[in-house]
Structure 1
Amino acid sequence: MINFDFHGKTVLVTGASRGIGKAIAFAFASANARVAIHYHQQRDITEQFRDTLAGEGHIVVGADLANPIAIAEMVNKIIAEFGQIDILVNNAGIYQQHPLDQTSYQDWQEIWQQNLNINLLGAVNLTYCVAKYMMQQQSGRIINITSRGAFRGEPTATAYGASKAALNSFTQSLAQHLAQYKIFVTAVAPGFVETDMTRELLSSPAGDGIRQQSPLNRVAKPEEIAQTVLFLAAPGSEFLTGSIVDVNGASYLRS
């Protein structure tokens, strides 16, 4: 039986100052977990959000995920505060348009490097640091937020699509390697989600076409992604390790 009570569990959610990450942090706090809420630049907003959460003991942690040293320092700070990390949700990411036929060679290189540094290497390095503690605990959950674009393609944001596809592959490889330590690794691949970042696009003339990609004629709510993450983190879902769960309202189907 799936139990959504995370009392006694500690969770690190990256990119949790807004959007999907904020919904995930809120859901875990509401389910009795203690949450480390990661931000990059918006400390004040993140602290205000922390103060609205259910329960006690939540902390705000800042780090540039493109900086491996900052990542290690953040993990050490959380361990010093919580004593453990039971669940890691790698949610932070960036999305930049860079169509090849309209992008200079210099911009192309910079955008690719930024996307790989944050979307892929940031998650990879953070996972390394957290997994080292989880291995000592002989338990843990790692959940990576990827994207429908990893399968469907991102013609004008190729670096984003490639970074998320690589994160899917990393998820599956790590699930095999870490199973011996009772650490279970999964990915969630959303389609369009209604967040601050997408609201302007969804309100534009292109919005109707985006919503019509799904037979439900809408996009996902952040809370729907959060519910999937909680399911994957809960006791009883261990045999899903290595899975990539599509949450896209049947807007893209694969078999």
Structure 2
Amino acid sequence: MEFNGKNVLITGASRGIGKATALAFAEKGAKVGINFRSNTEEAERTLSQLAGTGHQLFQQDVSEKNGPEHLINRYVAQYGQLDILVNNAGISIFHDIEEVDFDHWANAWENIFNTNLFAVSNLCYWGAKAMMASGGGKIVNVSSRGAFRGEPTKPAYGASKAALNSMSQSLAKKLAKHNIHVGVVAPGFTETAMAAETLTPLERENLLRESPFQRMAQPEEVAHAILFLASEGAGYSSGTIIDVNGASYLRS
């Protein structure tokens, strides 16, 4: 897979899966826009690690209503066109129905959907408009196995990702006539700094038991699937959802 001369924008790209994806695209010759919300130091560190030249940072909270429009417009103004959009930014908030009060419950649903679904739908809207103007492109949305298996202590997270899958497949049908391909990557738990910060030893042990590989995914493995869906040879895979969960959850 080569991406020489391709313009790529990745949301939530300063760390974890987003960072691994940015590194992989840059290594394959793309010019990468790194979107991040607030941690400038971390974003600059990621930028400094990208191979090649022409990469830039784009600070923007995509969960704000007008954030996606501002981000896409700034990107196109800088690069001329958008070839590949990777919607990776997402959040997860604990809201076990047995343990939290209603305000916590309601706020969790609102905040998770604002970032994991509404922001992505708005990014797809403005990204697709930009791609229509330049003859086509690729959109890859990052979902989760939680969309299929359920998330008992974070139901809004699972619901947001299930809705993301449905939206992505609807857009794959609608945008095909514009030469815009839409795909989804659905990782299981991935070995990131965020996982290291939030998982208890018992939670980690339970997660490792879920997969026959007895480990979590590496960010680079998720990035590999993202690059595949964004590659020239994968156009007829539009509408596909690729599981990257180490056989920890198998769906029919």
What TM-score does the superposition give when structure 2 sets the normalisation length?
Answer: 0.98
Distance 2:161 2:130 in 1: 25
Question: Is residue 184 of structure 2 the alignment partner of residue 223 of structure 1?
Answer: no
Distance 2:148 2:70 in 1: 34
Q: How does 1:89-238 map to 2 (within 5 A)?
A: 89-200=86-197, 204-238=201-235
CA RMSD of aligned residues (A): 1.0
SS in structure 2 opposite 1:20? helix
The unaligned stretches of length 5 or more in structure 2 are: none
Q: How much identity, in percent, do the aligned residues show?
A: 48
Q: What is the deviation of 1:29?
A: 0.6
Structure 1 match to 2:66? 69
1:251 alignment partner, one of 236, 248, 251: 248
Q: What is the deviation of 1:67?
A: 1.1
Q: What is the deviation of 1:44?
A: 2.2
SS in structure 1 opposite 2:233? coil
Distance 2:205 2:98 in 1: 26
Distance 1:57 1:41 in 2: 22
Distance 1:236 1:25 in 2: 20
CA deviations 1:111-167 (Å, max 9, x no partner) are 110000001001110111110011122210000000000000000001110000000
Distance 2:164 2:65 in 1: 17
Distance 1:240 1:117 in 2: 28
Question: Is residue 44 of structure 2 the alignment partner of residue 51 of structure 1?
Answer: no
Distance 1:200 1:74 in 2: 29
Q: What is the deviation of 1:107?
A: 1.2
CA deviations 1:10-34 (Å, max 9, x no partner) are 0000001111101001100111000
CA deviations 1:81-112 (Å, max 9, x no partner) are 10011000000000111001111111111111
Structure 2 match to 1:26? 23
SS in structure 2 opposite 1:122? helix
Q: What is the deviation of 1:212?
A: 1.3
Q: What is the deviation of 1:242?
A: 0.5
Distance 1:208 1:202 in 2: 10
Q: Which amino acid aligns with 1:86?
A: D
Q: What is the deviation of 1:68?
A: 2.3
2:37 alignment partner, one of 24, 29, 40: 40
Q: Which amino acid aligns with 2:165?
A: N
Q: Which amino acid aligns with 1:182?
A: N
Distance 1:70 1:230 in 2: 25
Q: Which amino acid aligns with 2:218?
A: K
For structure 1, which segment, 41-50 or 93-102, has the greater mean C-alpha deviation from structure 2 after superposition?
41-50
Distance 1:39 1:227 in 2: 21
Distance 1:5 1:30 in 2: 9
Structure 1 match to 2:78? 81
SS in structure 1 opposite 2:57? strand
Task: Give the count of matched residue pairs.
Answer: 252
Q: What is the deviation of 1:202?
A: 5.1
1:12 alignment partner, one of 9, 13, 20: 9
SS in structure 1 opposite 2:89? coil
